[in-house]
């Protein structure tokens, strides 16, 4: 890269940093807030104006990992803490990217402020057990997506500010001098749908294989859950290697950051394998998913009305409301009996299916069940209830058999470009990480083949009755029933 081009880039980078107090050295005209682990996040007055807004403060009551705390006691950290952490990571990403003269020449003060605000607000639309309910969205149910709700809350169309105080959009306009709808687009729209290369680069900072959101939640979740998996990569090395890709529409890494990027991807893989989709966590998740599915069934609320209901509650309050509102004898009542009033009676698995299993009949059953929509999953659960009832000698109630099908929105792993920089910008070349890394290719393949599993769970009472019947013939009977799905 030419010296003149580098010098011009550095001068512009310093100019942009001088214009944006959020990118100044920490504690220069800022108020620090401390979040785990030993992280002091420097906050300006306008950042605090968003954080202190009632719609942002609501996130103090929304757990980051929903039902996971029933398995990992430390999983009680919140979307509030995570959102501040992501803001801090976005700041670090931008400071690194400003060392790239091509990026620096492309962006403006408004661009950098827009992605900082989007990072702070990216989870504003989260509600109790959002990921459990959003899983239904990928199975044919019209359920609220937190990214879309964030935009409505920012504009004051939903949330605690409606009719009471000025919305967050007013803070964005008056104190940040930004267009709120652009910030919303960076939160809610896919990268490919954004109209300009600069917006697509900024979106990749928030949502890509090596984004700031994942950097925060992998480490934060590991800290609170007491596991090492999300922290086993060289964070500083990855940050220092960030660049803009050759096409100019996404983040990339230099050759020096290749190994850090590989390990980052593998950290996410192990967190899903060992934590997020651990069978006991999936038990708690599918219990909540089924209880939440019933909200739409017996409330009659549309997606908008349901969103308003969900945003009124914190996690524990919502579970209590759901239990009290559910009709007597309903599936929700039965399931939630194991999750409220000091109870922790999680369902037990009686069958596991995966694409990597040796037996072809198990793989066939997996493929037949994997694509089922919610109503067809319920029909299949009814058939399994009849089968298991005949083996137990009593009639299992609706909700005593649950089939957990993992979300179908995480199959594809977006690639990462690795830059081999030459002395001049035009002499640089890029290769995709999957081309040069067996780890990247293996993780992409194994995520769908190994980590994703379908499990059949039964109530604790049914599991106890079935204990003596857990034979190879028992599993074969369940598999044969699942293979009948068309």
Strand order in the sheet with 429-432: 242-244, 251-254, 417-420, 429-432
Q: Say if residue 353 is in the same domain as residue 255.
A: no
Note whether residue 422 is domain-resident.
no
Check: CB of residue 454 under 8 Å from CB of residue 464. no
Q: Say if residue 57 is in the same domain as residue 140.
A: yes
Please state, as a whole number, how many other Cβ atoms lie within 10 Å of the Cβ of residue 46. Answer: 20
Q: Domain of 34: which CATH number?
A: 1.10.3210.10
Token pair recorded at residue 105: 């020449």
Note whether residue 460 is domain-resident.
yes
Please state, as a whole number, how many other Cβ atoms lie within 10 Å of the Cβ of residue 75. Answer: 20
Q: Say if residue 61 is in the same domain as residue 179.
A: yes
Phi, psi of 456 (to 5 degrees): -105, 125
Q: Say if residue 84 is in the same domain as residue 231.
A: yes
d(CA 483, CA 479) in angstroms, rounded, equals 6
Q: Say if residue 103 is in the same domain as residue 202.
A: yes
Q: Say if residue 46 is in the same domain as residue 127.
A: yes
Note whether residue 457 is domain-resident.
yes
pLDDT over 90, % of the chain: 70
Q: Say if residue 184 is in the same domain as residue 97.
A: yes
**Positive or negative torsion for Cα 74, 80, 84, 89:** positive
pLDDT digit string, tens, across residues 330-387: 899 999 999 988 889 999 999 999 999 999 999 999 999 998 887 889 899 999 999 9
Q: Which of 277, 302, 325 is the last residue of a domain?
A: 277
User: Mean pLDDT, to the nearest integer, of 255-281?
Assistant: 95
Q: Which of 238, 258, 277 is the last residue of a domain?
A: 277
Note whether residue 188 is domain-resident.
yes
d(CA 339, CA 341) in angstroms, rounded, equals 7
Per DSSP, what are the bridge partners of residue 458? 348, 401
Global pTM value: 0.93
Note whether residue 203 is domain-resident.
yes
Q: Say if residue 251 is in the same domain as residue 399.
A: no
Q: pLDDT class for 470, splitting at 50, 70, 90?
A: confident
In eight-state DSSP terms, residue 275 is I
Q: pLDDT class for 298, splitting at 50, 70, 90?
A: confident
Q: Say if residue 28 is in the same domain as residue 162.
A: yes
Name which of 269, 274, 289 is nearest 457 in CA terms: 289
Q: Which residue has the tokens 């107090």?
A: 21
Please state, as a whole number, how many other Cβ atoms lie within 10 Å of the Cβ of residue 360. Answer: 8
Q: pLDDT class for 2, splitting at 50, 70, 90?
A: low
Query: What's the chain's average pLDDT?
Result: 90
Note whether residue 296 is domain-resident.
no
Amino acid 29: pLDDT: 65
Check: CB of residue 189 under 8 Å from CB of residue 150. no
Q: Which of 262, 277, 292 is the last residue of a domain?
A: 277
Check: CB of residue 44 under 8 Å from CB of residue 171. no
Domain count, the chain: 2
Check: CB of residue 466 under 8 Å from CB of residue 388. yes
d(CA 441, CA 140) in angstroms, rounded, equals 30
Q: Say if residue 162 is in the same domain as residue 29.
A: yes
Amino acid 448: pLDDT: 84
Name which of 277, 381, 290 is nearest 338 in CA terms: 290
Q: Say if residue 265 is in the same domain as residue 353.
A: no
pLDDT digit string, tens, across residues 108-121: 999 999 999 999 99
d(CA 69, CA 284) in angstroms, rounded, equals 9
Host domain of residue 146:
3-277
Note whether residue 298 is domain-resident.
no
Amino acid 9: pLDDT: 64
Phi, psi of 130 (to 5 degrees): -60, -45
Name which of 186, 39, 64, 172 is nearest 127 in CA terms: 64
Q: Say if residue 147 is in the same domain as residue 250.
A: yes
19 pLDDT more than 90: no
Note whether residue 303 is domain-resident.
no
**Inter-CA distances, 66 with 130, 285, 454, Å:** 8, 8, 20
pLDDT digit string, tens, across residues 34-72: 999 878 899 999 999 999 999 999 999 999 999 999 999
């Amino acid at each position: 890269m030419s010296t003149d081009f580098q010098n011009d880039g550095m001068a512009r980078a310093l100019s942009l940093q001088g214009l944006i107090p959020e990118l100044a050295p920490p504690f220069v005209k800022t108020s620090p807030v401390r979040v785990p682990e030993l992280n002091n996040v420097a906050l300006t007055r306008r950042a605090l104006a968003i954080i202190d807004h009632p719609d942002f403060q609501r996130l103090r009551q929304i757990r980051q990992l929903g039902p996971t705390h029933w398995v990992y006691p430390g999983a009680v950290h919140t979307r509030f803490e995570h959102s501040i952490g992501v803001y801090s990571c976005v700041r670090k990403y931008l400071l690194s990217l400003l060392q790239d003269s091509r990026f620096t020449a492309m962006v403006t003060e408004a661009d950098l402020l827009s992605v900082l605000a989007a990072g702070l607000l990216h989870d504003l639309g989260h509600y109790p057990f959002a990921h459990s309910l959003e899983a239904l969205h990928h199975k044919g149910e019209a359920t609220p997506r937190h990214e879309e709700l964030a935009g409505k809350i920012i504009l004051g169309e939903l949330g605690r500010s409606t009719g009471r105080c000025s919305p967050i959009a007013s803070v964005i306009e008056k104190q940040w001098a930004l267009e709120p709808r652009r910030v919303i687009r960076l939160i809610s729209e896919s990268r490919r749908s954004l109209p300009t290369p600069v917006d697509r680069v900024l979106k990749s900072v928030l949502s890509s294989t090596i984004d700031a959101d994942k950097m925060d939640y992998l480490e934060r979740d590991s800290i609170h859950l007491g596991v090492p998996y999300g922290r086993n990569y060289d964070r500083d090395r990855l940050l220092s290697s960030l660049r803009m890709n050759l096409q100019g529409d996404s983040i990339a890494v230099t050759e020096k950051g290749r190994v850090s990027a590989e390990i980052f991807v593998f950290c996410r893989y192990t967190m899903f394998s060992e934590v997020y989709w651990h069978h006991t966590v999936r038990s708690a998740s599918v219990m909540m998913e089924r209880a939440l599915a019933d909200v739409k069934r017996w409330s009659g609320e549309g997606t908008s009305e349901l969103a308003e209901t969900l945003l009124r509650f914190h996690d524990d309050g919502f579970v209590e409301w759901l239990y009290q509102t559910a009709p007597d004898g309903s599936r929700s009542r039965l399931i939630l009996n194991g999750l409220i009033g000091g109870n922790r009676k999680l369902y037990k698995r009686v069958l596991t299916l995966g694409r990597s299993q040796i037996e072809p009949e198990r793989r066939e059953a997996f493929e037949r069940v994997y694509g089922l929509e919610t109503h067809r999953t319920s029909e299949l659960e009814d058939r399994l209830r009849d089968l298991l009832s005949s083996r137990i000698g009593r009639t299992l109630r609706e909700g005593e058999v649950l089939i957990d099908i993992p979300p179908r929105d995480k199959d594809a792993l977006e690639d990462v470009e690795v830059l081999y920089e030459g002395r001049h910008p035009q002499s640089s070349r890029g290769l995709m990480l999957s081309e040069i890394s067996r780890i990247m290719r293996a993780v992409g393949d194994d995520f769908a083949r190994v980590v994703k599993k379908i499990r059949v769970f039964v109530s604790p009472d049914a599991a106890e009755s079935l204990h003596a019947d857990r034979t190879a013939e028992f599993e074969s009977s369940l598999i044969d029933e699942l293979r009948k799905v068309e």
